[in-house]
Amino acid sequence: MTDIATRGTRVVATTGGRSRHNGGGPRAGTIAAFLIPFFLPFVLFYLVPIAYAIGQSFLVVRRTGGQYGTSYTTFGGFDQYVQVFQNTEFWSSIGRIGLFGIVQVPVMLFVALIMALLLDTPLLKLKAFFRIAAFMPYAVPGVIAAIMWSFLYSPQLSPVVDLLKAIGLQPDFLGPGAVLWSAANVSTWLWTGYNMLIMFSALQAIPQELYEAAKLDGASNWAIAWKIKVPIIAPSIILTTVFSIIGTLQLYAEPAVLRQISSNISSTFTPNMLAYAVASGNNYQQAAAISVVIAVITFVLSFGFMRLTSKRAGL
C-alpha cells in the first residue's frame, strides 16, 4: 500500500512538472501575440520618430566654397538649441500660448465641470440628449470646426457680426486684440464636451449611498455637488487638466485656419506653427530642435502640475 502511494506521488509530481514546463511555452507565446501588435506600431511610429527628431536636432548644415559651393550635414552639438533659445519669435509664441492656456484651460474645464454636475443631478430630464449634444462638437475635426467659426468671425459673411452691428456694436473678432481669444473660443467649443464626458463618467462611479447619507445629514444639492462630488472626482479633473496643457502647447489647426482670413496671425503665432514654418524653409534640423524643446516644456509642465496637485490632494 505504501509502495502504491509512493508511485502515485511520483506520477503526480512528474505530471505536474510536465504541465508547468509545457504550459510555459504556449503561455509566453500567447502573451507575445497580444503584445506585438501594440509594441510594433509603438516603436515604429512613436519611439523611432522621436529618436530621429532628437538626432536631427544635433545636426547642422555647413557650406563650403562660397555662394556656389556645396553643403553638407555634420554634427553641431547644441548649436540648434542655442539658436532656438535666442529666437525672439520662439519666445513670443511661447508667451502667446502661455496666455492662451492660463485663460482658456480654466474656463473650459470649469464649464465642463458644471455641465457634468448638471448631467449627474436627478432633477435634469433628457440626460441622454444633452450628453450627446454636449459631446457632438468633439466629433467635428478641428480644421472643419475652425472653418465653421471662420464663417462666423468674418466681417463680410457672419450673421453674428451683422446682428451685433444692428444693435450698435462694432465687433472685430479677427483684430489684433481679439484673434487669440477667437481661436480659444474654437478650442473651448471643441473640447468642453470631451472633458465633460470624462468628469461625468467619474461621477457615475460614485456610490449613491454617499448622497443618501449626506441628505440624511441635511446636506443640500449644492453642498453635495461641491463638498462630495468634486473632491471625489479630483483625479479626473487633474487628468483633464494635464490633457489640456498638452493640447494647448500643440495648438496648430485653429490659428492656422484663421490665418487665412486674418492678417493678425503670423506664421509663427504658436510654437507648432513656428516649427512648421522653419521646416517649410528646408531647415529641418532647426525645426527638430524646436519640436524637442516644445516636447520638453510640455512634459515638464504636465508632469509638474500632476505631481503638485497629486501631493495636495493626497493621491
Residue 69's pLDDT is what?
A: 67
Residue 67's pLDDT is what?
A: 66
Question: What are the b/e assignments for 170-179, b being 16+ CB within 10 Å?
Answer: eeebbeeebb
How far is Cα 273 from Cα 180, in angstroms, rounded to an integer?
14
- Mean pLDDT split into 10-residue runs, the chain, 315 residues: 46 45 63 86 92 94 74 89 95 96 96 93 81 90 93 91 91 92 96 95 91 88 90 93 94 94 94 95 94 95 87 65
Contacting residues for 124 by C-beta, under 8 A, at least 6 apart? 118, 130
How far is Cα 228 from Cα 294, in angstroms, rounded to an integer?
37
Residue 61's pLDDT is what?
A: 87
How far is Cα 311 from Cα 315, in angstroms, rounded to an integer?
6
Instruction: Name residue 72's beta-bridge partners.
Output: 62
DSSP 158: -
Which H or E element spans position 310? helix 284-313
108: cell is: 473650459
Residue of 198, 272, 185, 268 lying closest to 233 (CA atoms): 198
Residue 315's pLDDT is what?
A: 59
Residue 25's pLDDT is what?
A: 55
Domains and CATH numbers, the chain: 29-77 (no CATH), 78-312 (1.10.3720.10)
Residue 1's pLDDT is what?
A: 45
Q: Do residues 111 and 192 lie in contact, with contact meaning Cβ atoms separated by under 8 Å?
A: yes
Angle at 163 between CA 160 and CA 164, to 5 degrees: 85
> What global pTM score does this model have?
0.83
